[in-house]
Structure 1
């Protein structure tokens, strides 16, 4: 599975055999002498088809998707298949993994993975807030364009590792907030240093364009760079280079095109 937004509070295990796995060993673990090359994986997303008999091992876990997108990924969190497994949108999902032939020489390991929408009564996660967040922020302030926002989130999920530092704030409380109002919400430490020094805003203008020209705001103390717009495609390299100290906020703002949008990518 792709990396989940949040793990559920409990993990339930159902064994098809009396043998329980050794400590630290799960269905995706590699045992000594085991051949894991090119396993056979079958995905099933949607209504619960029930536990399928005849498998060596079965495990279940609960994950919560806050973005409405789940994907099967490799160990580097790169999607193996582009199919969105979150068939019911944001919310909790039961993930049931069946496995066989994991320790049989000469056979390919086989997996059946079922992703089932779970009970949503009272389980919706509380929307994240700026006050609780740290690091680079992507804050949504326009909530009348749900489809473009969903496409933006999918682009983040399928994008490179350069987006991993971003904390997404998708909370209707911030509808219509200006950059100054959002900056005022960012927490600070005892020395008055902000928990987030870089802010990207997904406002109505950003969501109205397929490039998603986000409004970039410098929140470093004692710096007065003007905000500028940067496309989502360029934002990954922007964040990485700012975080590493390779470039300054002003270096990027001065490189915007004539329409005020920065589009170049630097890795």
Structure 2
């Protein structure tokens, strides 16, 4: 057992770190006891206050400065569990973590809650994700679990929310990271929308992930082509889950299951996004999920994708080889069997 001493304290290293940092797992970078972290949260929030007294946020706040640098969370601190995935936005029930980047500066955050105002221009990064509130309470906290304002962002009570995060200067030295976070009530149909899982699918083969849900006829045609096509598609796992609506290639890659050594379970990911389903050729976005390969995503028609699947699984060719064969519009069309 590792031990340490500080200021007259002697004992296990984890206990020492808890003594110093109050159990703040995000600060010390370890995986300390969950109950210690919970106690730190409660000490920060002051649960003697009735949270029902916190008003619902209406519209947009002025820019707010966090008291600590580090990742942001939209959460109910007394519910849910911390997301374990990686990526700019990672969610579980009642908890969204926002990667604040590498800048060691306190972030500047503007909050919005209400009807969808649309994407705001002028930001470097804009991504969105679904967060399900089971308690009807969500607040924005900094890395020390400090609420930026005592307002409730869950303006429609329990249910799904679309959280759209705009960001700039996340990794710029000497600049404060800036965020605009929009929290928009989702459709209330009586059934809660499940948040995306930390791991998108327990599969060791290629994946086809649907991220656009506006073209149901085209999606049905794609599925019919897979079912009636060659055996080349047999190893493909299809993910049709609205929790991944609007996901980018990087967000999908961040949720690929991994071996103990960090290698992804699925090397090849095909994404059926808006552009793919809006075209009769169904030009899927082909993504390499290997962390040490810098291959740019490219598009490949569904008719040609079967050959890509077979050849990459057999390691006959690399995804880079196929990407270099894309035509001027970025789509690979040649079929090989």
**TM-score relative to the length of structure 2:** 0.41
Q: SS of the counterpart of 1:256? A: coil
1:73-152 superposed matches below 5 A = 130-152=200-222
Q: 1:56-103: per-residue Cα shift (whole Å, max 9, x none)?
A: xxxxxxxxxxxxxxxxxxxxxxxxxxxxxxxxxxxxxxxxxxxxxxxx
234, 239, 246: which one pairs with 1:169? 239
Q: 1:191-222: per-residue Cα shift (whole Å, max 9, x none)?
A: 11111111000001000001100000011230
Q: 1:132-189: per-residue Cα shift (whole Å, max 9, x none)?
A: 2331000000011111000000000000000111100000110000000000011111
Which position in structure 2 is the counterpart of 1:159? Answer: 229
| 1:199 and 2:269 aligned | yes
Distance in 1 (CA, whole Å) between partners of 2:336 and 2:201 is: 31
| 1:215 and 2:281 aligned | no
- The alpha carbon displacement at 1:131 in A equals 3.3
Which position in structure 2 is the counterpart of 1:178? Answer: 248
Count of aligned pairs: 142
Q: SS of the counterpart of 1:193? A: coil
Structure 1, unmatched stretches of 5+, are: 1-125
297, 305, 317: which one pairs with 1:247? 317
- The structure 1 segments of at least 4 consecutive aligned residues displaced by more than 3 Å after TM superposition are none
Q: SS of the counterpart of 1:130? A: coil
Which position in structure 2 is the counterpart of 1:232? Answer: 302
254, 257, 261: which one pairs with 1:187? 257
| 1:260 and 2:330 aligned | yes
Distance in 2 (CA, whole Å) between partners of 1:264 and 1:220 is: 24
Cα RMSD between the aligned structures? 1.8
Q: SS of the counterpart of 1:131? A: coil
Higher relative contact order (CA 8 A, sep 6+): 1
Distance in 2 (CA, whole Å) between partners of 1:147 and 1:154 is: 11
Distance in 2 (CA, whole Å) between partners of 1:158 and 1:252 is: 24
Structure 2, unmatched stretches of 5+, are: 1-193
Distance in 1 (CA, whole Å) between partners of 2:201 and 2:304 is: 26
Is the 1:134–1:167 contact (alpha carbons within 8 Å) kept by the matching residues of 2?
no
1:21-32 superposed matches below 5 A = none
**TM-score relative to the length of structure 1:** 0.51
